[in-house]
């Protein structure tokens, strides 16, 4: 069964009639792109029941490896230094008021609620998202996506779904890892720069953090995973004009993912923390 073909014809719009029309066109284009990207996301989600089928199992495992384990190095560095910077900045300020003992709580809650999913999202958007966009874009301009379409192989199932599953699984796991390393980085700074023992730091950290902080953070990470894959695949599948188009798709993927991670992160926070 062939789904709607992903390969699209190039669009040729007539020149805008006036200045008002030329201002409105990018808005209309953005709305169109958003709608199409959402339809694609739904198409890939609809294929998720096949995630461990014989046809897709290998690809999913390979993507889990690519997204998860190959990103561990950079995620580790970013997570550790995020926690260290947080602890240092907050600790130095709190010390003026004699409150440096509370850095454990501040670092822990910041990491769980915001910085963990946010920093993981940025790192994965820049590394994995851009790689997905470049791969899909190259496949599009070299007619590999068209070939899949014509062979009756749905690119949403064959290419997008395994990446979606991998990021939906790995983003929360990587965020847990980021949180742990960030909190540990804060403890290191607490001990070496602020003279706070590990016991005092962790006691303070876990006394105030709630399960909800962890769950909301992981929910954000899950959403960020979906956003990154959707943006990257959409930009890749709609790439045109050869190498220039692939570069453009990659750049757009990183920019749009960053913006959406910021904006959607804010609204999720508002939703859960009134």
Partner 1 sequence: MIRFEHVTKRFGAKTVLDDACFHIQRGETFVIVGQSGAGKSVSLRHMIRLHIPDAGKVWVGDDCISEASGKVLSRCLDRFGVLFQSGALLQWLNVEDNVCLPLRQRTKLPDAEIRARAREKLEMVGLADAGAKFPDSISGGMRKRVGLARAIVTGPEIVLYDEPTSGLDPVISRQIDLLIDRLRRKLGVTSVVVTHDLYSALRIGTRVAMLDHGRFAVCAPPAEFVQSENPVVQRFLRAQGIANLGDVEKAFEHETENNPD
- SS3 of residue 106 by DSSP: helix
Taking the complex as a whole, the smallest distance from the CB of residue 57 to partner 1 amounts, in Å, to: 12
Taking the complex as a whole, the smallest distance from the CB of residue 31 to partner 1 amounts, in Å, to: 22
How many chain residues interact with partner 1 (CB under 8 A)? 21
Residue 213: closest CA among 224, 223, 221, 201 = 221
48 lines the binding site for partner 1 (CB under 8 A): no
147 lines the binding site for partner 1 (CB under 8 A): yes
247 half-sphere exposure, CB direction, 13 A CA radius: 4
Distances (CA, A) of 197 to 91, 100, 190: 13, 11, 7
Dihedral pair phi/psi, residue 85, rounded to 5°: -65, -45
* Distance separating alpha carbons of residues 108 and 116, to the nearest angstrom: 10
- Per CB under 8 A, the segment of 26-34, 136-144, 183-191, 210-218 that binds partner 1 is 136-144
- Per CB under 8 A, the segment of 39-47, 150-158, 207-215, 251-259 that binds partner 1 is 150-158
243 lines the binding site for partner 1 (CB under 8 A): no
55 lines the binding site for partner 1 (CB under 8 A): yes
- Per CB under 8 A, the segment of 8-16, 87-95, 195-203, 253-261 that binds partner 1 is 8-16
- SS3 of residue 253 by DSSP: helix
49 lines the binding site for partner 1 (CB under 8 A): no
Among 45, 92, 126, 146, binds partner 1 (CB under 8 A): 146
Query: Two tokens at 174?
Result: 């990587």
Q: What is the DSSP letter of 13?
A: P
258 lines the binding site for partner 1 (CB under 8 A): no
Q: Closer to partner 1 by CB, 66 or 253: give it.
A: 66
100 lines the binding site for partner 1 (CB under 8 A): no
Residue 240: closest CA among 111, 165, 146, 154 = 146
Dihedral pair phi/psi, residue 11, rounded to 5°: -95, 135
Q: Tell me which residues touch partner 1 (CB under 8 A).
A: 1-2, 4-5, 7, 9-10, 12, 55, 139, 142-144, 146-147, 149-153, 158
């Amino acid at each position: 069964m062939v789904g709607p073909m992903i390969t699209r014809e190039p669009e040729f719009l007539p020149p805008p009639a006036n200045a008002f029309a030329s201002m409105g066109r990018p808005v209309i284009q953005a709305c169109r792109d958003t709608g199409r990207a959402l339809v694609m996301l739904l198409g890939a989600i609809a294929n998720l029941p096949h995630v461990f089928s014989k046809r897709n199992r290998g690809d999913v495992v390979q993507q889990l490896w690519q997204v998860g384990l190959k990103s561990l190095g950079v995620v580790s560095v970013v997570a550790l230094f995020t926690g260290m910077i947080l602890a240092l900045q907050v600790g130095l300020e709190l010390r003026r008021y004699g409150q440096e003992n509370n850095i454990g709580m501040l670092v822990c809650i910041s990491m769980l609620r915001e910085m963990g999913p946010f920093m993981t999202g940025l790192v994965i958007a820049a590394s994995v998202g851009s790689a997905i966009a470049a791969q899909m874009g190259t496949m599009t301009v070299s007619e590999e996506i068209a070939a899949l379409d014509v062979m009756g192989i749905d690119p949403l199932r064959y290419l997008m779904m395994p990446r979606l599953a991998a990021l939906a699984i790995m983003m929360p796991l990587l965020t847990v890892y980021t949180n742990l390393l960030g909190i540990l980085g804060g403890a290191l700074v607490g001990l070496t720069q602020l003279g706070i023992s590990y016991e005092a730091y962790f006691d303070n950290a876990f006394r105030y953090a709630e399960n909800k902080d962890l769950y909301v953070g992981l929910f954000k990470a899950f959403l960020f995973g979906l956003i990154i894959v959707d943006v990257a695949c959409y930009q890749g599948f709609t790439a045109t004009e050869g190498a220039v188009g692939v570069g453009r798709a990659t750049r757009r993927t990183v920019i749009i993912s960053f913006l959406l991670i910021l904006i959607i992160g804010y609204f999720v926070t508002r939703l859960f923390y009134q």
